[in-house]
Structure 1
Amino acid sequence: MRMVLRWFGEGNDTVGLEQIKQIPGVEGVAWSLHDVPAGEEWPEEKIIEVKKQVEKSGLNIDVVESVNVHEDIKLGMPSRKKYISNYIKTIERLAKAGVKVICYNFMPVFDWTRTELFKKMYDGSTALFFENEKIKDIDPMKLVEMISRNSSYTMPGWEPERLEHLSKLFEQYKQVTEEDLWDNLQYFLERIIPVAKENDVKMAIHPDDPPWSVFGLPRIITNKKNIQRFLNLVDDPYNGVTFCSGSLGANPDNDVADMVREFSDRIHFAHIRNVKTYDNGDFIETSHRTQDGSVDIHDVVKGYHDTQFSGYTRPDHGRHIWGENSRPGYGLYDRAMGVMYIWGLWDAFERSKRKRSNES
């Protein structure tokens, strides 16, 4: 297992590279060019600039999170050919810079959805929260205003240049069924995976967050059956998954640890996150500790250990604790504790394995 931490870039993150470097076992960052709109080619000079910044701090840039997919590709419009061509050029440039894994998603309009960014918890900390009843009644534009209110930082998946066309996008997606989205995803994969394979870059799709339809939009990367279908669209080791225990774990019907064991050889990037779910469909993000949420993080990490997972991992969203002022879900303190909780489990499994080996 190779540990990284998400980093949003100089001037766009309260967490610095020098702080990330001090977290035990963290060897790299999951990064992106957040100022490049979806669909545009990533400039080589900007890629190299980030590479120099990160490597100067003794970290690597092996994982990119994310190269966003233009909506015209998801919609299956004729213009998708241009945007896929741009995507391919970006893959090639990232490979040239040494990138090994690219995380992306195929969620229409919104990459992730929450109704509150700083929900106060019983202990005084705050966390990202999803209120099921509220999402049914809220105007999408009101939600956009709430998410975009923290204008000091870019909010991945909620970029202004994309959301300014929100009404038009909703109108376009009225004609798109889940089967249409599957077809458009296959079209995309059939063109990018050969390029990724040729350049030795593994593509890793992120599950839908949450894993069900929001505002009537189609969502397809939601459960075990659909992940298997996705992998079969282009059955190639370079076509893989960013397996997010928090996104998938928001639906109690998903056996997350079982899915880790099932898909381990096609998981190229692991997001480990705990959420507490409620019978009414609400969920809130918690500490990574198993007992604090509804996802069996102990068994999730054991699943990775049992299958000898050697891919990239990061703690996903953390709470906001100890008065830290950070972008929602991405402070330093709780994610650093998440790293150490994951390593603690992993080290315990390693010790038990060595002990069994010595006794046999």
Structure 2
Amino acid sequence: MKMVFRWFGEGNDTVTLNQIKQIPGVEGIVWALHDVTAGEEWPMDKIMEIKAKADQAGLHIKVVESVNIHEDIKLGLPSRDKYIENYKKTIAKLAQVGVKVICYNFMPVFDWVRTDLHKELGDGSTALFYEKSKITDLDLFEQVKRINENPNFTMPGWEPERLGRLTELFDAYRGVTEEHLWDNVKYFLDEIIPVAAEHDIRMAIHPDDPPWPIFGLPRIMTGQANIRRFLKLHDSPYNGITLCSGSLGANPANDIVSMVHEFADRIPFTHLRNVRVYENGDFIETSHRTQDGTVDMSGIVQALHMNNFEGFCRPDHGRHIWDEQCRPGYGLYDRALGIMYLWGLWDAYSKGSHTERTVVQR
């Protein structure tokens, strides 16, 4: 398991590269050009700026999250070919600086949805919260305003230029079904996977967050059966998934441990975090510790270890603790604590495996 840490860039993140490199076992950053609009080709000079900063800190840039998919690709419009060509050119550029994994998603309009960015937990910390009853009556325009009220930090998936077209986008998706989305993602893969293979970059689609249709928009990356169907669209190691325990874990019916065992060779990247799901369908993000949520974090790490996972892992959303002022879900302290918990599990399973081998040898 190779540990990495998401970084939003200088001036766009409260966490510094110097702080990241002090977290034990962290080898690289998970990055993106957040000021480049979805569908545009990434400029090489901006890519090199990120590489230079990471090199100076002694961190690699092998994982990109995300090269966003233009909505015209998801909608299957004739204009998608132009944006797919830009995507191919970006893949080629990223290969030049050593990128090995591109995380992306195929969620219409929204990358993720929460109703409260700072819901207080019993210990006084705050976290991202999803209140099911509020979704039906949620004022999307007010939510966009609330999420982007701090112009100093971009919120991935809620970029102002995209969400300024909310009415237009919802009109465009009227009548688009899950099967349409399946057709459109296959078209995208048919074009992209050969290019990714040529440049030795593994594409890793992120599950939908939350993993069910929302606001009348279709969603397809929701559980084990759909992931299986997706991977069969292109039976190639370059067509993989980002296993996100938090996104998938919002639906208690998802058996993430089983997914690790079934899809192990198609998981180049993992997002590991915990959530607590309530009986009414609400959920809140918690610490990474297994007993603090409803996701079997220890079982997931054990399954990764059993399958000799050598891909990249990052701690996903953390709580906001110790009065840290940060982008919602992306502070330093709780994610660093999460890394140490994940390493503790990994080391314990490694020690157990060594002991078992020693006993067998005797």
* Matched residue, 1:311: 311
Offset of residue 147 of structure 1? 1.5
Give, in angstroms, the shift of residue 31 of structure 1: 0.2
Cα-to-partner distance string for 1:237-287 (whole Å, 9 max, x where unaligned): 100001100000000100111111111110010000100001111000000
CA displacement 1:279-337 (0-9 Å, x = unmatched):
11100000000000000100000010010000000000000000000000000000000
Task: Name the aligned partner's letter for residue 269 of structure 1.
Answer: F
| One-letter amino acid of the counterpart of residue 305, structure 2 | H
What is the aligned-residue identity percentage? 66
Alpha-carbon distance between aligned partners in 1 of 2:259 and 2:95, rounded to the nearest angstrom = 29
The equivalent of 2:185 in structure 1 is: 185
Counterpart of 1:10 in structure 2 is: 10
AA aligned to 1:344 is: G
Matched, 1:275 2:275: yes
Query: What 5-or-longer segments of structure 2 have no aligned partner?
Result: none
Q: Provide runs of 4+ in structure 1 moved above 4 Å.
A: none
Aligned to 2:41: 41
User: After the TM superposition, which residues 276-291 of structure 1 pair with which residues of structure 2 at under 5 Å, given as runs?
Assistant: 276-291=276-291
- Paired letter, 1:75: L
Q: Secondary structure at the match of 2:152?
A: coil
Query: Which residue identity is paired with 2:219?
Result: R
Q: For the residues of structure 1 that align with 2:139 and 2:31, how far apart are their CA atoms? A: 31
1:157-209 C-alpha deviation (Å, 9 max, x unpaired): 11111111110100110121000000000000000000000000000000000
Structure 1: runs of 5 or more not aligned: none
For 1:74 and 1:333, locate their aligned partners in 2 and report how far apart those are by CA, in whole Å: 36
Q: Alpha-carbon deviation of 1:353?
A: 0.5
How many residues align? The count is: 360
Give the equivalent residue in structure 2 for 1:232: 232
What is residue 296 of structure 2 aligned with on the other side? 296
Q: 1:255 and 1:141 mapped to 2: Cα distance?
A: 35
User: In the alignment, which residue of structure 1 is the partner of 2:23?
Assistant: 23
1:131 aligns with 2:124: no
State how far apart, in whole Å, the 1-side matches of 2:300 and 2:29 are.
22
* 1:1-360 equivalence runs, <5 A: 1-360=1-360
SS of alignment partner, residue 137 of structure 1 = coil
Q: 1:145 deviation in Å?
A: 1.6
Amino acid at match of 2:263: F
Q: In structure 2, the residue corresponding to 1:284 is in which secondary structure?
A: strand
Q: Letter of the 2:27 partner, please give it.
A: E
Residue 150 of structure 1 and its aligned partner are, at CA, apart by: 2.5
Return the alpha-carbon distance in structure 1 between the equivalents of residues 141 and 171 of structure 2: 14
Deviations 1:46-81 (A, max 9, x none): 101100100110000000010000000000000000
The 2-side partners of 1:198 and 1:37 are apart by 25
For 2:273, give the aligned amino acid: R
State the alpha-carbon separation in 2 of the partners of residues 16 and 148 from structure 1: 22
Corresponding residue SS for 2:136:
helix
TM-score where L is the length of structure 1: 0.99
Whole-angstrom distance in 1 between the partners of 2:357 and 2:200: 35
Residue type at the aligned position of 2:221: I
**CA apart distance, 1:139:** 2.2
1:151 is paired with a residue whose SS is coil
Offset, 1:143: 1.8
Calculate the aligned-residue CA RMSD, in Å: 0.6
Partners of 1:53 and 1:144 lie apart in 2 by 31
TM-score (normalised: structure 2): 0.99
1-structure distance, mates of 2:359, 2:310: 25
Deviation at 1:218, TM superposition (A): 0.3
Three-state SS of the structure 2 residue aligned to 1:353 is: helix
Distance 1:85 1:226 in 2: 27
